[in-house]
């Protein structure tokens, strides 16, 4: 079998007496969306912090693209092809959409933001920035200040920024948070199109979106992965129904 793009084995993280991730194992394959779901406080964000290098695990391992990255720093993981979007919108509001993506391209090349004023006309930044905007459907909004974009468009912009480094894996933390129905539908279509050439680990509370998008789902409760499977398998899992989804919350 082909080795998964991301492989997490026995990840453990304690904060005093609290076990935030309790022997968590999962993997993400290239070309799939693997959703991570669970109630608030389940340990999802702590797990992602360990995947991106912001937190060191107390035990367990993380492999990415065939390499053991358990002790690598965040910038090293980014250079290997791992990118993350955050739960709270983090665009630069006083810059245009194209500027935001160009800055992200520049950052992935290891340059400081302070040189950006001289780089506004640098085609090596602007061309990939425009391509990134086109990839998320924002090419017509390139010259719009990020502050003037809708909430949904700002989330799309964040994904364009994450794509600036041509990542092999996207870690998306609640990309549909705060969106209305129309914006959510656009984001679902965007994410479905993005998985073709990369893996996606999706943290999301919108269960309709999760069950439409995910190839596989892992359910995290009190730091433990209680189930992993296809959407149909997760729907039928009695432990998942009892611990998290419930009959009324289960998408059809």
- Are 179 and 141 contained in the same domain? no
- Are 102 and 214 contained in the same domain? no
Angstrom distance (rounded) from CA 164 to CA 114: 18
With beta carbons less than 8 A apart as the criterion, state whether 163 and 1 touch: no
Q: Which of 136, 166, 196 is the last residue of a domain?
A: 166
Give the total residue count for the chain. Answer: 252
The 10s digit of each residue's pLDDT in 169-227 is 999 988 988 888 899 999 999 999 998 889 999 999 899 999 999 999 999 999 999 99
Angstrom distance (rounded) from CA 139 to CA 66: 35
The contacts of residue 150 (CB under 8 Å, 6+ apart) are: 183
Cα Dmax for the chain? 59
Which helix (H) or strand (E) segment holds residue 210: the answer is helix 207-213
- Are 47 and 15 contained in the same domain? yes
- Record the tokens describing residue 78, joined without a space: 């980014």
pLDDT of 119? 55
Q: Which of 166, 198, 219 is the last residue of a domain?
A: 166
pTM metric for this prediction: 0.89
Q: Does residue 216 belong to any structural domain of this protein?
A: yes
Q: Does residue 219 belong to any structural domain of this protein?
A: yes
Q: Does residue 86 belong to any structural domain of this protein?
A: no
- Are 174 and 251 contained in the same domain? yes
- Are 119 and 131 contained in the same domain? yes
- Are 105 and 73 contained in the same domain? no
Q: Does residue 73 belong to any structural domain of this protein?
A: yes
Which helix (H) or strand (E) segment holds residue 52: the answer is helix 44-52
- Are 21 and 64 contained in the same domain? yes
Q: Does residue 127 belong to any structural domain of this protein?
A: yes
- Are 200 and 159 contained in the same domain? no
- Are 156 and 184 contained in the same domain? no
Number of domains in the chain: 2
- Are 190 and 223 contained in the same domain? yes
- Are 156 and 181 contained in the same domain? no
CATH number where 35 lies: 3.40.50.300
- Are 58 and 115 contained in the same domain? no
- Record the tokens describing residue 244, joined without a space: 């998290």
Q: Does residue 50 belong to any structural domain of this protein?
A: yes
How does pLDDT run along the chain (252 residues), one tens digit per residue? 678 999 999 999 999 999 999 999 999 999 999 999 998 889 999 999 999 999 999 999 999 999 999 999 999 999 999 998 865 567 889 999 999 999 888 887 765 555 555 556 778 888 999 999 999 999 999 999 999 999 999 999 999 999 988 899 999 988 988 888 899 999 999 999 998 889 999 999 899 999 999 999 999 999 999 999 999 999 999 989 888 766 445 554
Q: Which of 109, 143, 166 is the last residue of a domain?
A: 166
Q: Does residue 147 belong to any structural domain of this protein?
A: yes
* Pairing, β 199-203 against β 18-28: unpaired
The contacts of residue 134 (CB under 8 Å, 6+ apart) are: none
Query: By residue range, what is the domain housing residue 59?
Result: 1-81+170-252
């Amino acid at each position: 079998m082909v080795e998964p793009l991301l492989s997490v084995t026995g990840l453990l993280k304690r904060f005093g007496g609290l076990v935030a991730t309790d022997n968590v194992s999962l993997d993400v394959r290239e070309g799939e969306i693997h959703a991570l779901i669970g109630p608030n406080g389940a340990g999802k964000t702590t797990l992602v912090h360990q995947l991106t290098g912001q937190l060191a695990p107390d035990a367990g391992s993380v492999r990415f693209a065939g390499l053991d990255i358990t002790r690598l720093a965040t910038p090293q993981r980014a250079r290997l092809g791992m990118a993350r979007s955050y739960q709270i919108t983090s665009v630069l509001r006083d810059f245009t959409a194209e500027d935001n993506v160009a800055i992200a391209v520049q950052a992935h090349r290891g340059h400081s933001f302070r040189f950006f004023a001289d780089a506004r006309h640098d085609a090596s930044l602007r061309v990939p920035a425009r391509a990134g905007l086109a990839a998320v459907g924002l090419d017509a909004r390139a010259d719009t200040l990020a502050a003037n974009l809708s909430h949904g468009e700002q989330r799309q912009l964040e994904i364009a920024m994450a794509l600036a480094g041509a990542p092999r894996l996207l870690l998306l933390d609640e990309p549909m948070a705060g969106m209305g129905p129309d914006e959510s539908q656009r984001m679902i279509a965007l994410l479905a199109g993005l998985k073709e050439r990369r893996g996606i680990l999706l943290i999301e509370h919108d269960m309709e979106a999760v069950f439409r998008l995910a190839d596989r789902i892992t359910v995290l409760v009190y730091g433990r992965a209680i189930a992993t499977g296809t959407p149909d398998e997760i729907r039928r899992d009695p432990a998942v129904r009892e611990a998290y989804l419930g009959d009324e919350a289960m998408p059809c």
